[in-house]
Structure 1
Amino acid sequence: MTTAVSASGLGKRYGAVWALRDCDLELPAGRVIALVGPNGAGKTTLLQLASGLMRPTTGSVALFDELAPAESSRALAQLGYVAQDHPLYPRFRVRDLLHLGRALNGRWDQRVAERRLADLGIPLDRLAGRLSGGQQAQVALALALAKRPRLLILDEPVASLDPLARREFMQTLMATVVQEDLTVLLSSHNVAELERVCDHLVLITAGRVQLAGDIDALLDSHKLLIGPRAEVPDGPEVVHVERADRHAHVVARIGAAHPMPGWEPRTLSLEDLVLAYLRRSQTRTRPAHDAAVAAHS
């Protein structure tokens, strides 16, 4: 298996506060990877470390077995990045942005970029600052894809878009994934949307990776158990417990094991699984940590 992103002991500290700590990851190439977690969890920190926008305090990160982009121009050439605010030069026309991209990137594909924008009805002579939010997101994506990257990093790219613009953006993205040998690392709060397009998951809370792996395998290994309130199981395999008047709902990592007698196993959706881990983290996360790292993550 080819590894797109490899992190070993990766960490980033701001003063006494760790935004990301002890991060060990092996993300497979050719996959669409969901990065989820609450605000301030360390998601953007991880993406910026992987993309070379910041340097780690501890550990290392590699793309396709190269050094991080901050240290390797060859690795940087294989990376496309789209931030949440889709930063574009507002006084540049779209064609000027394409010209700039062509001047800065040796693998630039002008024809593909122009065709994508034409298919979306985005005029090349329009000022970037006068495009709608959805159009700006599409231009940012077109610029990133025109680099012909092997890895595309998307940090909440559709957070500010309306539902139709989000759907069009994701359709453009997935069409590209099907057509090209592309690995996508996608951060988003919309878990239901991620479940439709992603096949690998990384979940971060309080600056640490809590869960990582193929989504199908993770869902197979976790179950929702429904049983008597008075006999709730305990142990490291228990992720989250909710108690009702007579019954308890337990999310547990039990694999193929049979639950205790009297407990009914049910399958989980990705959203159920993510929420269970997020709820568990709420009882373990210090409120001061969230406030301290929110500005950096």
Structure 2
Amino acid sequence: MNIQLFSHDPDYAAAAIQAGVNGIVVDWEFHSKEQRQAGFDTEINEGTSENLAIIRAATSAHVICRINNHPGTRRRELLLACELGADEVLLPMVRTAAEVIDCLDVLPSGRKLGILVETIDALALADRFSSLPLSRVYVGLNDLLIQRGSGHLFSPLIDGTLDRFRVTYSGPLSVAGVTLPEKGSPISSRLLLAELARLGCNYGVARRSFRRDISLDQLPAGVAAIQSEWQALRQRTVSQVKSDRRAFIIQVQSIIAQTRRPACAC
């Protein structure tokens, strides 16, 4: 599994790369995020140009920068991120293909653009996204839950939403977050990894659960454990895939029955 780690800590980031993590994500997105996610247990980073420059200096690995999707600033932020050494830019809260094309039009040669699908409008654009030169798509469950106004954080993984999107969009895809297989809250990390494998995802996002569960000195063993489980999951039989799918659905349904306000997917 290709693992992309959100971190502004140069020491942790460098150690993670040495341990086998594939890239580091610097997070600039904060515009309207606090108001949008008020009352939900989410992670809000306010990364700066300095954070990106420091991470770029700390590693020669792939560096991604998530910018703000604001019509007045997104082009400027994209160009600044590339100037500071980002190999790839992530555009969040996409609602239209025009927003993506606006960024692609100014993307410097050799740099990549990925997007976050976390709105109802974007979910309907899988076919259009397949026709664009995108490096990756990440489905953001927290903002999607807020947009929907009902349901549960993990509902899109059991109600067919992700499966329908995947039928049309065949490019690099991921959802939720990765951490040690034996960890995970409120959903078992192993079962979540099993869902990523079932959906044909080829990368995973490591965020606060990963950083909480795996200390700097435990990174080599932690990353190895994730990769070992991932390889095993990709070699499952059809019946094993179905069994894990049933277990995942049961776990999500049980959590839905217990609470309406979920924890963060990361």
Calculate the TM-score normalised by the size of structure 2. 0.35
- Higher share in strand: 1
Rg larger for: 1
In proportion to residue count, which structure has more helix? 2
TM-score by structure 1 length?
Answer: 0.32
Larger RCO, structure (CA 8 Å, separation 6 or more):
1
